[in-house]
Structure 1
Amino acid sequence: MADEQETGLFNPHEDVPFIKQCDCSTPGLQITQSSSKPTVWPRPLARTWTLMLLLVTCVLHWSRMAMPICAVTMAREFEWSKTETGMVLGAFFWGYCFTQVVGGHASDRIGGERVLLLSTSSWGIMTALTPILAKTGLSPLLTMTASRFLLGVMQGVHYPSLVSICSQRVTEGERGLLMSTLACGCYLGMMLVGGVGSLMLDWFGWQSVFYGAGLLAVFWACCVWKCLLQGTDISLDSLWISRKDVSESSRINWLYLLREPSVWAMIIAHLCFSSSYYTLMSWLPTFFKDTFPHAKDWVFNVIPWFVALPTSLFGGSISDHLIRQGCGTAAVRKLMQFCSMGVASVFILFLCKTSSFIQAVACVSVTIGLSTFHNSGVSVNVNDQAPSCAGALYGVMNTCAAFTGLLMVYISGYMIEVTGSWVNVFSVLALVNVIGVAVFITLGEAKRIDQLDEPEII
């Protein structure tokens, strides 16, 4: 038991394939780098960064969900149809797909912490400016679509940066729990925007929801820059470093990686999961408004994400425990993904048949809770297979997911507009999940494939 307590999260004494660890002897918390590879965070620094990454992920999802939460009110004010509302919501994913690979590659190269600082300050300002753009005199449909697109561009680097940080700064045996912990920021953000955001919407108007998220993001960026990075100059010029200092991710044979069936299984599972998940996030508030118009907003905007918090931590803990007990890593990843997509699809189908508000909230809560197992499935599988270029590869995965997410959000709005029924939408989402998990279970692996005897530099 004592041994287990000594080998908790982020053990700085564990042997890891890095040259040296961070030097925290100087005042403050600094990031240091070895001559060729990033350093593993020691425990005090890891705890601080974990808390800050959790908080920024929380605020990011407040910013991202501000538009879906306010969509009904804004559609009424600006006289948007369901199709036009879907176009505004879907514009986020057009922008989201453009910066995934670039953000992941930059994070692998200069450090995800610096990339996150730049992106967070940018999308924080963009979020705060959104209500102002709606009043510029131009068409609100045009300005809100443009703001959602730019928000997607700026937020696209976030998760590839987190994956890169997890690969570079954390020991291999603790990555599942770390990613599940950071994913709690998503659910906290959903609860925050669903609870506090809904109250702000009712009391102060939809503009206040955007102002709140934007100001918090800018405040986070200032704190990280002054306290953790200690005012370090950060510029894009650092990307153009000499070739001898290029990180290992730049020396990966990408053609070899993309020929592997297990990589494509991971990509397909991730894009199927993300497509259904993004569609649910975008349209669930509208679903409850249309189906149960007299229900309290905070109930269906908070309870599912409250359920997601313990299930995410449980999924990360149980996956790491099973691996420590000798279960195959690939089998554990497939089990987690089956729960997040296969079992969750059953409750999505139940949602089609429910006529009770309580039953609908229960089905959505179970679906969202099970979906958190994705954080210890495919999300970590990218570190199993290609830790040296995890950020860039995850960027490829999220790019594919952004395209399909865009199509699914728009098609869902069109189906609702034409048929007036939610049954078809939820049935399609369940089918997409089943296809994705079937491919991953059949072809997925967990062996490292990013190392060759003589890697080709491309």
Structure 2
Amino acid sequence: MQPPPETRRDAAENAQWSSIGGEKVILLSASTWGSITMATPLLAHLGSAHLVSMVFSRVLIGLLQGVYFPALTSLLSQRVRESERAFTYSTVGAGSQFGTLVTGVMGSLLLDWCGWQSVFYFSGGLTLLWVCYVYRYLLNEKDLILALGVLAQGLPVARPSRVPWRQLFRKPSVWAAVCSQLSSACSFFILLSWLPTFFKETFPHSKGWVFNVVPWLVAIPASLFSGFLSDHLISHGYGTITVRKSMQVMGLGLSSVFALCLGHTSSFLKAVVFASASIGLQTFNHSGISVNIQDLAPSCAGFLFGVANTAGALAGVVGVCLGGYLIEATGSWTCVFNLVAVISNLGLGTFLVFGKAQRVDLSPAHEDL
């Protein structure tokens, strides 16, 4: 008996990972950018070529990190069941938040104690330690040697199947996912970039470690809880798309309400609470739109997430610049938080109207619509 069409299709589409593998892509990219980060202080002392080498190293790190989350998304879509994806992805998100928190706290201390070079040594070394852990528990030496050999040849062992571009981007649910991811990333980058300045200007006598640490500390359990709640609801019979949309209501809708409150308080304590609630609730996006991409196209989730994440990063740059312009033009932080609310709710509204959880990467004859 032949396997069902969708199984055969997944096997064909996932051939792109058979030559190297998602785990090995993650390991190789992380080990390379970790090494480059540790070498950054050395690159700064290359004489007249230091500027070119520094720019090239940062571009290379961006490219290497660019394949990390698409590879992770593809890996999870292939190996994790639908009812467990949210918690798995949220755990990864919580780990990322924890790494950011540790690096931020230790980076600030090292900057004062040992100079700026120590920050690069620490963050690069932390990345390489994580790579050692992945190598120890997910890979063996034979796997890694094979992966390096494939990369050295410059050609994959198996010919990758073509991504169904037209089929994917004819679906409103795909555009809704991209739009929602764009909105969540843009809102996140605006808050990430401007919250420290907001606290410093609005509450000049406040302690920096409070507003730089507490919101991100809250984000870790919030991310884990969102994943647990999402998978729990799905396992108890709630529709997948209903749960995904509920997570987005929290991640984009309710988080923007707390962002708006930031512009209307004169209390430092309330501001920290509002900022923590907004950042913490944004982690619910890990259980909403981030795993919805895996629902829509598990056979090419890495590609689709890469498109959505790239759009989100570009939108984040524009959003941060626009936020800075509004601050200069109006002198009011309320405009920045209003901008966050508008962007978040545009993405939320689009996802609520057009979002779906049915697969769109199958041939028309086998789509479950």
- TM superposition score normalised by structure 1: 0.70
The structure-2 alpha-carbon separation of the partners of 1:208 and 1:333, relative to structure 1 and needing over 3 Å to count, comes to same
Q: Aligned-pair distance for 1:413?
A: 3.3
The structure-2 alpha-carbon separation of the partners of 1:296 and 1:145, relative to structure 1 and needing over 3 Å to count, comes to farther
Partners of 1:428 and 1:184 in 2: how far apart? 26
* Matched ranges for 1:395-406 at <5 A: 395-406=306-317
Work out which of the residue numbers 296, 304, 312 in structure 1 matches 2:215. Answer: 304
Partners of 1:282 and 1:143 in 2: how far apart? 26
Asked if 1:264 is matched to 2:180, the reply is no
The structure-2 alpha-carbon separation of the partners of 1:354 and 1:347, relative to structure 1 and needing over 3 Å to count, comes to same
The answer on whether the counterparts of 2:13 and 2:299 sit within 8 Å (CA) in structure 1 is no
Residue 39 of structure 2 is matched in structure 1 by: 129
Asked if 1:280 is matched to 2:191, the reply is yes
Work out which of the residue numbers 185, 203, 207 in structure 1 matches 2:113. Answer: 203
Work out which of the residue numbers 57, 62, 85 in structure 2 matches 1:152. Answer: 62
1:416-446 C-alpha deviation (Å, 9 max, x unpaired)? 4555443222221111001000000011001
What letter corresponds to residue 157 of structure 2 in structure 1?
I
* Matched ranges for 1:193-232 at <5 A: 193-225=103-135, 228-231=138-141, 232=144
Residue 190 of structure 1 is matched in structure 2 by: 100
What letter corresponds to residue 203 of structure 1 in structure 2?
W
Partners of 2:102 and 2:296 in 1: how far apart? 35
The structure-2 alpha-carbon separation of the partners of 1:240 and 1:109, relative to structure 1 and needing over 3 Å to count, comes to closer
What letter corresponds to residue 436 of structure 1 in structure 2?
G
Residue 75 of structure 2 is matched in structure 1 by: 165
Q: Aligned-pair distance for 1:134?
A: 4.6
The answer on whether the counterparts of 1:161 and 1:391 sit within 8 Å (CA) in structure 2 is yes
Residue 157 of structure 2 is matched in structure 1 by: 241
Partners of 1:166 and 1:222 in 2: how far apart? 21
Report SS of the residue matched to 1:240: coil
Q: Aligned-pair distance for 1:277?
A: 0.5
What letter corresponds to residue 156 of structure 2 in structure 1?
W
Asked if 1:345 is matched to 2:252, the reply is no
Q: Aligned-pair distance for 1:217?
A: 1.4
What letter corresponds to residue 115 of structure 2 in structure 1?
G
The answer on whether the counterparts of 1:337 and 1:377 sit within 8 Å (CA) in structure 2 is yes
The answer on whether the counterparts of 2:182 and 2:312 sit within 8 Å (CA) in structure 1 is yes
5+ unaligned residues in a row in structure 1: which ranges? 1-16, 20-34, 39-104
Q: Aligned-pair distance for 1:144?
A: 6.5
Q: Aligned-pair distance for 1:388?
A: 0.8
Residue 358 of structure 2 is matched in structure 1 by: 447
Partners of 1:108 and 1:356 in 2: how far apart? 55
Residue 272 of structure 2 is matched in structure 1 by: 361
The answer on whether the counterparts of 1:194 and 1:297 sit within 8 Å (CA) in structure 2 is no
The structure-2 alpha-carbon separation of the partners of 1:397 and 1:148, relative to structure 1 and needing over 3 Å to count, comes to same
The structure in which a higher percent of residues are helix is 2
Q: Aligned-pair distance for 1:305?
A: 1.6
Alignment root-mean-square deviation, CA: 2.9
Partners of 1:317 and 1:427 in 2: how far apart? 31
Partners of 1:109 and 1:381 in 2: how far apart? 27
Partners of 1:264 and 1:394 in 2: how far apart? 12
1:315-357 C-alpha deviation (Å, 9 max, x unpaired)? 1111112112221111111110011001111111111122222
Residue 52 of structure 1 is matched in structure 2 by: none
The structure-2 alpha-carbon separation of the partners of 1:349 and 1:397, relative to structure 1 and needing over 3 Å to count, comes to same
Paired residues in the alignment total: 354
Partners of 1:112 and 1:319 in 2: how far apart? 25
Residue 422 of structure 1 is matched in structure 2 by: 333
Q: Aligned-pair distance for 1:370?
A: 0.6
Residue 24 of structure 2 is matched in structure 1 by: 114
Report SS of the residue matched to 1:346: helix
Partners of 2:175 and 2:25 in 1: how far apart? 27
- TM superposition score normalised by structure 2: 0.86
Partners of 2:61 and 2:266 in 1: how far apart? 36
1:112-168 C-alpha deviation (Å, 9 max, x unpaired)? 111111211221123223344455566999876665444322211121111111012
1:11-65 C-alpha deviation (Å, 9 max, x unpaired)? xxxxxx979xxxxxxxxxxxxxxx9787xxxxxxxxxxxxxxxxxxxxxxxxxxx
Query: Which one is further off, 232-241 or 385-394?
Result: 232-241
Q: Aligned-pair distance for 1:108?
A: 7.9
1:204-242 C-alpha deviation (Å, 9 max, x unpaired)? 233322220011212333453466422222232475224
Partners of 2:139 and 2:328 in 1: how far apart? 49
Report SS of the residue matched to 1:110: coil
Report SS of the residue matched to 1:360: helix
Residue 3 of structure 2 is matched in structure 1 by: none
